[in-house]
Amino acid sequence: MLIKWLTVTIAFFVAEWLVPGFEIDSIYIALIAAALLGLLNITLKPLLILFTLPFTIITLGLFLFVINGLMLWFLASFIAGFSVSGFWAAFFGALVISLFSTFVEALSRE
């Protein structure tokens, strides 16, 4: 779990580097944001998936990226030092974080 947390923290900096409008001030802010994103993924995300299940089925699961982007945008509104300029920055930031985390997790299994 600690490795996953650190991976997501690094993914936040990769997203900051790749996505315009996605900004993190320090490593401490990234650590806090990664931990809170994990808590949101455990608590709020299952409910959002349940309520948006028809959209998720119609889009063959692609609506989950919208949910991830909205959760990231929501998170940025509460953490000083972490800002996302709009929905598209949050969407692409969530996409980068998801892809980077999946890539690192796949590498660590081998």
Q: How far is CA 55 from each of CA 61, 89, 102, rounded to the nearest angstrom?
A: 8, 22, 23
β strands within 1-110, DSSP E: 22-24, 82-84
* Residue spans of the chain under pLDDT 70: 110
Strand partners, 22: 84
Angle formed at CA 87 by CA 86 and CA 89, multiple of 5 degrees: 70
The separation between CA 64 and the C-alpha centre of its own chain, rounded to angstroms, equals 11
pLDDT at 14: 93
Q: Domain coordinates of the chain in residue numbers?
A: 2-109
User: How far is residue 69's CA from residue 71's CA, in Å, rounded to a whole number?
Assistant: 5
pLDDT at 75: 92
pLDDT at 105: 85
